[in-house]
Structure 1
Amino acid sequence: MIGEWNQGVGLNVTKSSEMRMEEIQKDLNNKTLRIVVKEEHPLVIVRHTDEDGNAIPEGSNEKFVGYAIDMMTEIGKYLNVSYTYQLVPDGSTGLPLSNGSWTGMIGMLMSNQADLAVGDVTINYERSSVIDFTKPFMNLGISILFKKPDEDPPKLFSFLEPLDNNIWMCMIGAYACVSLFLFIVARFSPYEWKNPHPCNLESDTVENDFTLLNSFWFNIGSLMQQGCELAPKASSTRIIAGVWWFFTLILISSYTANLAAFLTITRMTTPIKNADDLAKQTEIKYGCQFGGSTYRFFKNSKIPTYEKMWNFMSQHPDVFVNKSDLGIAKVKAGNYAYLMESIPLRYQLSQHCDLMEVGGELDSKGFGIGVPKNSPYRDALSNAILSLSEQQILLDLYNKWWNVDSPKCLTTDDSKSPSSASKLGLKNLGGIFVFLIGGLGLALIIAIIEFIVNATVNSKTDKQTLCSEIREECMFALKCCGPSEKPAKLSSVNGNSHLEDTGDDLEASTPLKSSRINSSFN
């Protein structure tokens, strides 16, 4: 008692909370508390033999190991208490009966058959109305346990998957457009016409290496990183080649990197990804432990998705199980999803490599130590839990029992793992197409300048107007199936000029005159 209440005077506090806590700790000193547990790996594990294979006698505390047992050992050191453990006879946490009593561990606390209930005892309103809880020693939520789907069989054309279909179409279009553009610009530029016989300075024809077929061959060689014997000579065609090489460099590098991910990472198709997917279908059954906190959560939920799931489960009673081990066995058998607390679920993932967690947690709650109503030990136990948490002792115990440092199986969420590598689309590679278009625009400007300069010089040689010269040059250059050779009125080779007998005194540096002849397309 910490005080008295008098109707006339009011509350008369006779003991402070510090004094009361000291009295409780003195009462607990060297006291032996009775703990009721339920087997739930890895919180509480019941073993029948020790490490040497010797049988453990009934009633011995050595029969019980696990996270919760280690935690109570640390609390015992903190409060200087000892324990005796006993298994709950019916193997349940507790269910309310019509007469107001409870079964399981909660019923044993209410009937004073145990002082503490330790394990997967979830704190909720219904249970708090009949027993008390300490501060939670572990936070958790409801998760979905599901069997990993089989790996997708490799596809015949899986090498096309690293890039989105739009990228493949754009790349083919870019290849065709750049090849045609290179062909046209090369015909316009006077610097792409050369003497086909360098040793014969008297040759009266010049030719262009960038025919239509050669233009396509030059670009495909660049795209395949193999090169080509052709080399552009004019500034405009070199700009085209440069931007095309940069375009192929980025595209091929991105493709190669993503191809490695697609070919080396296991890809699986999961039929369900969250609780909504479960609620929308009926082929995959799902359930939980009958009478547990998860069962009560769905039964009392007012959220439409969870109400729909509860209606399905209540109409199919066979989806409920009495123990988590039975639920896990149904999951491993296939076509079944088990709804359970996330903490024991993740332990199962480390023990069964063919299982996976689907989606996130559906709610948020905690495990606490259950004590009888108005128990004087509740605050002392809560203080011990907070102290162990601040000293990171609880974290060390978690790492010990959940194998966080060296897991047996990969327990990461498959939806967030590298197996979810996605195709590269225009959002990822659109910039290189913009760069390519900009480079082609610059090359076009340079080609126009080269063309006009050459036409200006030739108009003086032919003694005709610039417009008529440009018209003749354009008509010849735009003949896509036209000749790749033309007569050279003025041919410059290796810096030495050879002038035809035209009767005009021209400078040796004058560009080639593009007179037209009919010849076959090479």
Structure 2
Amino acid sequence: MAKIYGLQLLNSDNFPKGLNEIFKGNKSRLEQGLMSDVVGILRHYLQTHVQDCKKEPATNSSMTADDFRRVILNAVTPYSGALGDYIWPKVSQKETSNVRKDYPIAIYRYINGIERFAQVTFGKNEAKVNAFMLSEEPHVKDPFMGKKFDVIAKQDEPFVMKNGDKYEGFCVDVLTELSRSLKFDYEIFELEGSTINQNGKSTVWDDIITQLKVGNASMAIGAFAVTAQREAKISFSYTIISSAVSLLMKKPPDTTNYFQFLGPFSPLLWMMIVVFFLSVGLGLYFMARFDSTQEESEQKFDLKESMWYSLTILLQGSAEYSPQTTSMRTIIAFFWFCTLVINAAYTANLAAFLTLQQIDNRIKTVDSLARQSNVKYGILNNSDLMQFFRESRDDTYERMWTFMKLYEDISLLSTRKKGLDFVQNGVPTSSGKAEFIYLDDGVINNYNAQQNCELESIEENFGVKHFSIGFPKGAPYRSDINRALLQLKENGVLDRLRDKWWTSQKSNCTVKTSDAGSKTNTASELNISNMFGVFIFLIAFAVLAVLYEIGLIIFKFTQERKKKKKEESEIEEKTNGNSVQFGDTTYVDEN
């Protein structure tokens, strides 16, 4: 312990003004002066040895009391404080016995006033702490009233975005709700410029952490993920949103096939069935001409009836009559057997075809992504996700990291915008454009998928991150903000803000899309687009039948008119040939 010599009892010129009002007269001027001189000595030391207070102090810069005394003794001129000048003479080995022992130091707190709540007594080898019972917990009404915080931000959609001169985004909305709840003001600013370290990694967040540590900012917002390395330097609030890694990919083209019911058979097979139907109908017609029983039958197998009978059997309908000869019955029996096989095969293939239509065989997991090489994929260069792949010893992630290192020019992306462009337009390769999948935090990929209807984001179960608000270490307002965040969560405000920025309400898509990120494929009912072709056939043949009837009516009407005109002309000719004209009177020979 260094010896302190007071050259005069009290120097009023160096005594801080207003200190007596803070202590409300409960402390003597000597005690007040001693406390102010302790702070002043530390400030004097910092100003002498740290030229730029905006810079981060050296890591592990703590020192023992002897080291501190030695530095001040060798490098600092005596400090002039309220109790006079302070000097630190060297202490020899012989004088160590005179070092002060068993002395107490009181510990105070200030919450709307000074209150002593503990005392530390330093012995020869240990320190004893004696805590006092407080009369009551001091009540502070609106401790944030009138306070204004400088909030440093980094733009990341949709966490923080700048619209003109104003900031918006999920984190900005959370900060606004906190300011309303705790009644404080804030001003958002961004870090001007950023540096690149020797590994090529951007130090934006490192620079923001430095600004928090040196006191240039009270909070930090953005896509600020909590990591062990950052937790060692600054403090974080409770989690405001969590996210895992997701795959951002392009949706398959939405093609509508109204004739899916024709899918079970190939076009050639459909043609063969039509030929088969016509052949049987014509066979029945020609064989019926040599059937003697047809002469006495009321319904004869003419061409129309033969074709209708063949079609009825093919569609498994029922007929009012059947052929009588052995040859015709042989043809019909064989035709029945063939139609039975055709209908059974069509029914089975239709069920299988519609089931396969619902199965999504696209890449939707990192395991299937790692097992192929046709579809390219990539991540943001020098990101936390890149560090995860680089340091992971899991076989799947190691293979993916090897693949990305092999195609480093397209897999390690400089910006998220470039990855989004590759997903939308494909990535150029030697053989043309290839499909591309971008891996990033789910909250970012989900937002991009909502803004681009042709994209979808499929969340995986690894790389979970927790995003929070950053504070300087030991920030006294951190506990109050955490309490307010819990209240916002309990009241559903955080859920409402998530819905505002990560649901279709904020989407540019005007049509409802299916949930492509579903983990299971469940059978769904058929909709009208699957079977609309059947109704097209029905409408077409119904219209054809109506047109046929209309044409038949018109044909009969014209034939009757022609017949009538012909009869009238014949009567007129016959009448003109047997009549005699006498003046104005015509006489007809009725014989």
Superimposed CA distance per residue, residues 141-178 of structure 1 (whole angstroms, 9 cap, x where no aligned partner): 111112234457969x95355x799xx9xxx9xxxxxx
1:282 CA drift (Å): 3.4
Q: Distance in 1 between matches of 2:152 and 2:182?
A: 19
Counterpart AA for 1:43: F
Question: Normalising by structure 1, what TM-score?
Answer: 0.54
Q: Distance in 1 between matches of 2:385 and 2:156?
A: 15
Of stretches 145-154 and 324-333 in structure 1, the one that deviates more from structure 2 is 145-154
The reply on whether 1:82 has 2:185 as its aligned counterpart is yes
**SS of residue in 2 equivalent to 1:103:** helix
**SS of residue in 1 equivalent to 2:413:** coil
Q: Is the 8 A contact 1:275 1:359 kept in 2?
A: no
Which residue pairs with 1:12 in the alignment? 131
Q: Distance in 1 between matches of 2:369 and 2:352?
A: 35
Q: Distance in 2 between matches of 1:338 and 1:11?
A: 59
Counterpart AA for 2:249: F
Which residue pairs with 1:353 in the alignment? 453
Which residue pairs with 1:326 in the alignment? 418
Unpaired runs of 5+ residues, structure 1, are 49-55, 57-62, 173-195, 200-213, 232-240, 425-522
**SS of residue in 2 equivalent to 1:330:** helix
1:64 CA drift (Å): 0.3
Q: Distance in 2 between matches of 1:412 and 1:400?
A: 20
Q: Is the 8 A contact 1:93 1:105 kept in 2?
A: no
Counterpart AA for 1:40: D
The reply on whether 1:143 has 2:232 as its aligned counterpart is no
Counterpart AA for 1:414: A
Of stretches 361-370 and 138-147 in structure 1, the one that deviates more from structure 2 is 361-370
RMSD between aligned alpha carbons? Answer: 5.5
Q: Which structure exhibits the higher relative contact order, with contacts defined as CA atoms closer than 8 Å and separated by 6 or more residues?
A: 1
Bigger radius of gyration: 2
1:352 CA drift (Å): 0.7
Equivalent residues, number: 356
Question: Normalising by structure 2, what TM-score?
Answer: 0.48
* 1:61-140 equivalent positions in 2, closer than 5 A: 63-90=166-193, 103-140=206-243
Task: Give 2:516's match in structure 1, choosing from 399, 414, 424.
Answer: 414
Task: Give 2:487's match in structure 1, choosing from 364, 387, 390.
Answer: 387
Q: Distance in 2 between matches of 1:333 and 1:222?
A: 53
Unpaired runs of 5+ residues, structure 2, are 1-108, 110-116, 274-293, 298-305, 323-335, 428-435, 527-591
Counterpart AA for 2:146: N
Counterpart AA for 2:389: F
1:108 CA drift (Å): 2.5
* C-alpha spacing 1:127/1:397, structure 2 compared with 1 (3 Å): same
* 1:401-480 equivalent positions in 2, closer than 5 A: 401-405=501-505, 407-409=507-509, 410=512, 412-414=514-516, 416=518
Counterpart AA for 1:105: I
Counterpart AA for 2:469: I
Q: Distance in 1 between matches of 2:353 and 2:525?
A: 8
Q: Is the 8 A contact 1:30 1:80 kept in 2?
A: yes
Q: Distance in 1 between matches of 2:133 and 2:200?
A: 40
Superimposed CA distance per residue, residues 60-90 of structure 1 (whole angstroms, 9 cap, x where no aligned partner): xxx2011211111110011111111112334
The reply on whether 1:46 has 2:46 as its aligned counterpart is no
Counterpart AA for 2:241: M
Q: Is the 8 A contact 2:195 2:204 kept in 1?
A: no
1:133 CA drift (Å): 0.9
Task: Give 2:378's match in structure 1, choosing from 287, 302, 318.
Answer: 287
Which residue pairs with 1:308 in the alignment? 399
Q: Distance in 2 between matches of 1:389 and 1:372?
A: 23
1:113 CA drift (Å): 2.4
Q: Distance in 2 between matches of 1:274 and 1:334?
A: 19
